[in-house]
Amino acid sequence: MEARANRRLNLFIAILLFAIAAEGLYVFLQSSFLNVRTIEVAGSSKVKKERIIKLSGINRKTGFFRFSNTTVEKRIKSESWIDGVKVDKTWLLNVRISVTERTPVAVLLIGSTYCLIDKQGVVLEAGKQNTFGSLPLIVDTPVRAPPKKGGRIRDRSVTNTLDCLKGLDKRIIDEADRLSAPSIDGLTINLRSGLIILYGKAELTDQKNYAIDVILEEARKEGKQWKYIDVRVPSNPAAMPAA
């Protein structure tokens, strides 16, 4: 009986000591001694570091072990310019936030609103004036209302145009005044020189680029000017001389 009582007493003492230790550990982890000491931000150029830190919700009063990396990453990705983010807790109570920013590729005119978009159709900025530099301007699309910043435009005419830009020769992109995209098959590229390229679907881009180059080179050699070039069927391109 005495041995059984001793075992029970020892078990009670062990449980009590464990509870005290756990409580002490909890209090220690919640103490200001383990608050975040420094926050580093890497990879940002369009978005200010202060903005990223504010979005993260982390400051020097935040407990190092009291926040979820995943939750912080979701907060930061709410910023339209941020494509990817990774949060790491490193030595000496330091937090490192690494971001990947989106790259604008075109300006999309929707009604009277100019939307700066990336290759996935995500709206980065929007305004009533085109203050976004010399990026290609996409017009005449079926999109009737611009989404909020960070929203993605999924209209097929727009995605087809963005796919076209991925494969289009840079010289043509640099000369483009605007891209008219009322439909997938109806995509046309209007150059500053007045030449119109009937492009259509964003497919067989290498063949279409080659056909454009051949026709333009022929025009340069012979001193011709074209009104339009049709490469919608690159194996059988066509061109109409300017009047």
| Residues 181-222: tens digit of each pLDDT | 999 999 999 998 889 999 999 999 999 999 998 888 887 887
Q: Is the pLDDT of residue 100 over 90?
A: yes
* Pairwise CA distance, residues 179 & 176, whole Å: 7
pLDDT tens digits along 15-40: 645 544 444 444 445 555 678 899 99
**For the domain that residue 56 is a member of, what is the CATH number?**
3.10.20.310
Place of tokens 């159709």: 121
**Residue at which a domain ends, from 101, 120, 137:** 101
Query: Given strand 137-139, what is the order of strands in its sheet?
Result: 123-127, 113-118, 104-110, 137-139, 176-180, 188-191, 196-198, 226-230, 238-241
Domain that residue 73 falls in: 32-101
95 and 209 co-located in one domain: no
CB 106 within 8 A of CB 138: yes
In a domain, 191, yes or no: yes
Asked if 112 and 226 sit in the same domain, the reply is: yes
Last residue within a domain, chosen from 78, 101, 124: 101
pLDDT on residue 22: 46
The pTM of this model reads 0.82
